[in-house]
A and B are shown apart, each in its own frame.
Chain A
């Protein structure tokens, strides 16, 4: 009833909004939220393809990929936030542009 293209359009648009968040936001945590939106868009894409292509004959590759992405996203969010807070403690700023000690 819901054609596959609808899910793909939704995941594509969500990916682009996440990409916009990564490129535009000043705050480092905002950039991280954009990355999480991108990962969620990829998850929707994978699950839609699993359901429409392989769901009815028991092939589970899409699902395992989605589980791996869940775990990677959680791990990356945890480590990323730890680093952001650590950088905040040193330099008292979380504007991504101002953390530029290594800038040439």
Chain B
């Protein structure tokens, strides 16, 4: 087993363990911190896939913004969950059964997928230039439309979040 494979297995275990602890933690803050660790593990996976730009953007956007947002809102709503005990709701048995069945079914379907053998096990070398991605995003024949639509989505989300967070405050005054 080569060093890269060993590294991948360690990172995969870290990600899955942190994700499980996110689901099962009793305190909300611990859950948020395990979530941060899972996101950092995913950034390492992106770096293993030689998508370095996405690794850095994952740390910048997910860890540096979304995770901090989640931690902030956990802090703002701390009083609501301090004394109630269980982190899971009443239907946890049924949900666990469904997810386990899906896992088993997924594995069985995966093993019988013939096309899997067709993918090369060794990575062919890719010359990856970040400028190429930038050019593709603004080229009208390639990906300018998703880019522009995404920016409109961001604008809508920004305006919506400000209105939701702001408008109610004036109401309560």
Which residues of A pack against B, CB within 8 Å? Answer: 1-10, 12-14, 16-21, 23-27, 29-30, 32-34, 36-37, 40, 43-44, 47-48, 50-53, 55-56, 58, 60, 63-64, 66-68, 70-79, 81-86, 88-90, 92-97
Q: Is the CB of A24 within 8 A of B88?
A: yes
| Chain B hits for A3, CB < 8 A | 119, 121
Sample (24) of A-B pairs whose CB atoms are under 8 Å apart: A3-B119, A4-B121, A10-B12, A13-B16, A17-B16, A21-B22, A25-B88, A27-B81, A33-B22, A34-B22, A43-B42, A44-B46, A48-B49, A55-B50, A55-B124, A63-B133, A64-B137, A64-B146, A71-B154, A78-B69, A85-B76, A93-B80, A94-B80, A95-B81
Of the four ranges (under 10, 10 to 19, 20 to 34, 35 or more), the interface on chain B belongs to 35 or more
**How far is B96's CA from A47's CA once the two chains are assembled, in angstroms?**
28
CB pair A56 B125 closer than 8 Å? yes
Q: Would you call B61 and A55 a contact (CB within 8 A)? A: no
- When distances are taken between beta carbons in the complex, the residues of chain A under 8 Å from B164 are 79, 82-83, 86
What DSSP secondary structure best describes chain B's contact surface? Answer: helix
Which of B5, B103, B147 neighbours the largest number of chain A CB atoms within 10 Å of its CB?
B103
A33/B31 contact (C-beta < 8 A), A40-B42, A63-B133 known? yes
